[in-house]
A = this chain, B = another copy of it.
């Protein structure tokens, strides 16, 4: 056999082999934690249609953007947002470094652990707690502080690290989208710098694909003249509700083709996604499983899902995901 012919027949065999492997991958269930039903079907059909070149719904690879809310959409947000838990627990760490804080309100109340007193903290008190725990340090120092806390902190009900409270079905969705050429982004009301600390390791979402509420970062020099960036109590981006679109425009600059949320904070993101041309996928996670997770809706202050939002979802054809019925399991560690 001549060399050229050999190469050609080799490549032919290789292509046949790759087609065989690819065939196997496609026939496997990429959403094993989902029960068969309209939600799973909507996801699979959307991904297939938008990546099939012969489909009228085909979306070119470079504009394939899928956005995911975080709290309550891809991990547990009850009884309180993880970042708020961080801020409250971080006060103890700060008080160790600055003992005089122990006698100053609102830190004194937080350190007392008295829940009744803590519930009475005012908006101004909370702002002081956020400013003390989220600003004043360099961006690198903040990353270390969050990482250390995540390694040690446990969720009050599940007694597990917060990073183990990621929803397995949503991880599968993210992986399915990425395997089909979609860039997956977080678009969260939570702090951008906070989420970036763990998003790559636990969700496969790199820091540059996290859109979140962002404080200012001031450029300066330390005592030795080394440049540094310090977190400041300004808010260039309040990434919630209508602000999520400002965040998407600022950081992505493209309209998403798919958007996932779970509360009134995601309503505008889903509306704007749907207003684009061609195929679009809008989904809302609904927390109706108080056995395995939590059941909450319009009355919850965390992750509010109003009746009006449910009505809008129905009217607009958004798919509501029932955690109880659509998810075979919620967490990776479940039996």
Are A139's CB and B249's CB within 8 A?
yes
Are B217's CB and A253's CB within 8 A?
no
A17 within 8 Å of B by Cβ? yes
Per-residue CB proximity of A225-256 to B under 8 Å, as 1/0?
01111000000110000110110011111100
Residue in B closest to A249 when the chains form the complex, CB atoms: B217
Report Cα–Cα, A226/B255, bound state, in Å. 14
Are B208's CB and A253's CB within 8 A?
yes
Which residues does chain B contribute within 8 Å of A216, judged by CB atoms? 246
User: Least Cβ distance of A137 to chain B in Å?
Assistant: 13
Q: List 22 A-B contacts (CB under 8 A).
A: A10-B17, A14-B14, A139-B249, A192-B250, A192-B253, A193-B253, A219-B242, A219-B243, A219-B245, A219-B246, A219-B268, A219-B272, A227-B245, A227-B271, A229-B245, A229-B272, A236-B236, A236-B250, A237-B250, A250-B250, A250-B251, A251-B251
Which residues does chain B contribute within 8 Å of A237, judged by CB atoms? 236, 250
Are B229's CB and A249's CB within 8 A?
yes
Known: A208-B253, A214-B250. A275 touches B226 (CB 8 A): yes
A207 within 8 Å of B by Cβ? yes
Which residues does chain B contribute within 8 Å of A250, judged by CB atoms? 192, 214, 217, 236-237, 250-251
Report Cα–Cα, A271/B275, bound state, in Å. 43
